[in-house]
Structure 1
């Protein structure tokens, strides 16, 4: 409650300042060791619908501040506002939360978050039913390792609780023990119960740390409680909460504290690939694609005529034209996918893939690949063949023989791999996310018949080529329609070993990171710090099988010219 025009105007001015600061606030996203060598940026910081929300809960905080600010401004515009009943506002709470956002240790993972709390009995239920309530955390900081809750309870409010406790004690004494006593045997109140619930909830929602799974530490900011005044049980309350293991901070943030906020550290870290590279299906296709190896078109018009059939319009031609234009742009800048690999792969490198990715790759190439693409695919996994596999692979390529160390590509053994013990936390978070997604696939059908069915596979794959029902039977996962089981399996192999996963599948990377940040046993604390500089994921532009289309279009154009 707030009253008095002078106090309300000061409060309104503070909330206006918060509203302005929130409008300009650009939180640094949690560090993700993802190396992006694609033409398009995978993780944009814009406000588009396609972007993963930079800081979950920030939009909600902005809306709550705007609602209370509008309420205050309208109230103060009334000429008789001093004579009106006291105004109820959450301004003090919202200001305190914003100050904690500014002062909390980065990276921030969420604001105004709700976590599943401990099971509690349903009040008044004769069947002793228990429910799991959601527990609110105002700021999730330090990569998920710290929870902060703001409480604006005043002395007057907690004194009222004490008076109620004392009334139970008085009633019990007056009845000479005839009825069971409601008096407390030990001090308990709303602040102690909040701290107890936060601790239990933290224990049920552990996060990854370098030392293993641990519950987040809990901080309780009591902005208006003054233990040194009134009843000594207020100070005892603070002491009890601290002895539980909760950090208690009293009072609002001071101007000196807010002025001393250090600048955000630079987020740019030079990432390098691991000595072993994990390849998914999209990169296997890109390695043999005509788009990767053929000479670059001399002009944009040449690029258009290479794949656009003059007799008909089709999605395949447009998709391939877009990809060859990307290759042209990279040739003028970074130098295309192979040039990027050549520049970044330092020292001996070994390439790996899953047996399923290999099988799918060979089926797709056999169905829709051109002669040169099939020749390259035939030797891609051949390290002990009789012929000169290097010469066969690089024949007809615009790159010299052995330009990158891509032969042979090794296939993982069938035996499960023991997770590498010295992986960075982000690899662990990816592994847990992949395991969680795949566990849903192995589960039985959903028991709820009303649950939405998965959408059918898209007509076009992430590489921009029509899906062939005979060669691509991958269906979306239950967890996310933009992820297929074989893609998740590929990501899992790299994460389990602590190796860089090279992929041309942008949408799958975005979907995987979204799932990582939203759950599956982790709050994305794997992003809290980066041990070393090894990239967990390396994204390049997609390259579809294009040789057959180019040859078909060339034949059509020759027929038109000769007619």
Structure 2
């Protein structure tokens, strides 16, 4: 009886410290993950890095350890604690902290299904199957522990030991020793996947999956991380490592691994702020020109019945995050801005056609002649038309390039640029080719053009990094409040026998709505330059007719 109690006491003494250590480490890991998430939110990259699955796994592991602490201190509890998956999760995280441009943690990559591969939220393109699918492998997927270097490096972590590798060899029927006539240990052939030990199978599968993708014309490189393997001790283990290398993986054992780094030093390396890579001067696309003067960006615009779905969505987004103070002002701070003549002309045409008076006023300030007014004067004028503080670091005005300046550097364009720009409109061609030829960062929210450009370039056999243009795709867009629904003809825009209100009245309502809100914002008073509005007698007449028609009995409207 005394011996039994002593055994239980020994178990208790051994389990509690282990559990406390594991729990504390799990909390530290989770805390560092939250710090990384906060960093991603700050640089607006949270949607570009997939860590939700990994974070959920860490939370589950922490919950299991905390529940285990309340259980009896017996051999079963000790076994579960010592079998914790936390060391593996820590290794994955430590490798991620040493990596550049983390794209995902613990991601399943589908490599035999084009439809699946296209939905993986990575900058990758499915190339082709290199061998026929095995039965049941239609949607084959391989788990990748970390995807870094913007997708170009795939990490596979294993905590297997030399002893375990020898055991796996023996389990497969291979003996650790050989006859005196043999030159070396015998191993399965590279093509005999069924006879491979688990580590080699895993290396072959992930390397095969990596060959099915390209990122910026390059194939991802697989790093096999083996912190508990010591090479050079036995020929058998070295032979296994050689098989992994033959499959295409770069093998890193315990002695090859660099120590981890503190999270505060790792953040900017793991996910750098794209704004930090901008050129000194930035090239502004037409989409951003419109966003910089839009009523949506400068005032609180409420949803209106005539807003189509995209505009209603912009109202919702602006209500949650203010584009100018939270994103564009910091991005453009202290950067001289230029735009092509075609972009400026197109933007001015749009504003003149559907812009409100306040949007027109902002456009005049944005594209003003820098010889006539100073930067500080323009900032003060813009402030009078905005509900948000206009920073002095915004280098107004935007300088409009002349035609000769736009095309002077075209001879420097790489051959790939000519082919990629063939399908672009003349405006987009002027914008993107100027930035490409001069090395100037182009700021745009035109996702369609950017993704098509990337797709066209990715079709080349090989392109070095210097060939690719510097483009920053703004994650959100803003239109003018007067933007119409696409494809709707005014003469057919009729519902229940009542025509929608004519455009002039819509413009007037939108203008008054924006200015009313501006004047009510605390600390800022904006004067309505046309308090009596615009002469809209014919519009008011149409409005009254519409109201009378809507209130008439249904039978009368059908006649």
TM-score normalized by structure 2?
0.51
More helix, by proportion: 2
Alpha-carbon separation, structure 2, partners of 1:291 and 1:67: 42
> Is the CA contact 2:153–2:221 (under 8 Å) kept in the aligned structure 1?
yes
Residue equivalent to 2:105? 111
| CA distance 1:278–1:164, shift in 2 (3 Å) | same
Shift of residue 501, structure 1, vs aligned partner: 3.1
> Is the CA contact 1:149–1:220 (under 8 Å) kept in the aligned structure 2?
yes
SS at match of 2:146: strand
Describe how 1:224-373 pairs up with structure 2 within 5 A: 224-225=228-229, 232-251=235-254, 257-258=259-260, 263-264=265-266, 277-284=283-290, 286=292, 344-345=335-336, 351-352=339-340, 362-363=349-350, 365-370=352-357, 373=360
Shift of residue 10, structure 1, vs aligned partner: 5.5
Residue equivalent to 1:200? 208
Describe how 1:537-548 pairs up with structure 2 within 5 A: 544=480
SS at match of 1:283: helix
Higher relative contact order (CA 8 A, sep 6+): 1
Of the three residues 45, 50, 61, the one matched with 1:56 is 50
Residue equivalent to 2:441? 500
Shift of residue 112, structure 1, vs aligned partner: 0.8
> Is the CA contact 1:273–1:535 (under 8 Å) kept in the aligned structure 2?
no
Which runs of 5 or more structure 1 residues have no equivalent in the other structure? 31-41, 169-182, 297-302, 331-335, 382-387, 443-484, 523-528, 559-563
| CA distance 1:157–1:486, shift in 2 (3 Å) | farther
Residue equivalent to 1:71? 64
| CA distance 1:367–1:16, shift in 2 (3 Å) | same
Residue equivalent to 1:176? none
> Is the CA contact 1:148–1:221 (under 8 Å) kept in the aligned structure 2?
yes
| CA distance 1:140–1:490, shift in 2 (3 Å) | farther
Residue equivalent to 2:218? 214
> Is the CA contact 1:365–1:545 (under 8 Å) kept in the aligned structure 2?
no
The Cα offsets for residues 226-270 of structure 1, whole Å up to 9 and x where unpaired, read as 5667x742231123324555332334999x934799934866776
Residue 96 of structure 2 corresponds to residue 101 of structure 1: yes
| CA distance 1:80–1:6, shift in 2 (3 Å) | closer
Residue equivalent to 1:464? none
> Is the CA contact 1:27–1:55 (under 8 Å) kept in the aligned structure 2?
no
The Cα offsets for residues 346-385 of structure 1, whole Å up to 9 and x where unpaired, read as xxx7522667x955762552245559949988xx89xxxx
The Cα offsets for residues 500-544 of structure 1, whole Å up to 9 and x where unpaired, read as 3345x6xx78x999x89x99998xxxxxx9999988468999695
Alpha-carbon separation, structure 2, partners of 1:422 and 1:413: 18
Of the three residues 22, 26, 32, the one matched with 2:29 is 22
Shift of residue 64, structure 1, vs aligned partner: 1.3
Of the three residues 33, 45, 58, the one matched with 2:42 is 45
Alpha-carbon separation, structure 2, partners of 1:555 and 1:8: 80
Residue equivalent to 1:555? 532
Residue 166 of structure 2 corresponds to residue 153 of structure 1: no
Residue 197 of structure 2 corresponds to residue 189 of structure 1: yes
Residue equivalent to 1:561? none
Shift of residue 555, structure 1, vs aligned partner: 0.4
Shift of residue 82, structure 1, vs aligned partner: 1.4
Shift of residue 51, structure 1, vs aligned partner: 6.9
The Cα offsets for residues 197-246 of structure 1, whole Å up to 9 and x where unpaired, read as 222333333334xxxx33333221224445667x7422311233245553
TM-score normalized by structure 1?
0.51
Residue equivalent to 1:91? 86
Count of aligned pairs between the two proteins: 409
The Cα offsets for residues 100-135 of structure 1, whole Å up to 9 and x where unpaired, read as 233x23232221123233666555x4xxx8635222
Alpha-carbon separation, structure 1, partners of 2:263 and 2:357: 60
SS at match of 1:106: coil
> Is the CA contact 2:54–2:105 (under 8 Å) kept in the aligned structure 1?
yes
Which runs of 5 or more structure 2 residues have no equivalent in the other structure? 1-10, 112-128, 176-186, 383-394, 459-464, 483-506, 513-527, 536-559
| CA distance 1:69–1:520, shift in 2 (3 Å) | farther
Residue 143 of structure 2 corresponds to residue 166 of structure 1: no
> Is the CA contact 2:436–2:469 (under 8 Å) kept in the aligned structure 1?
no
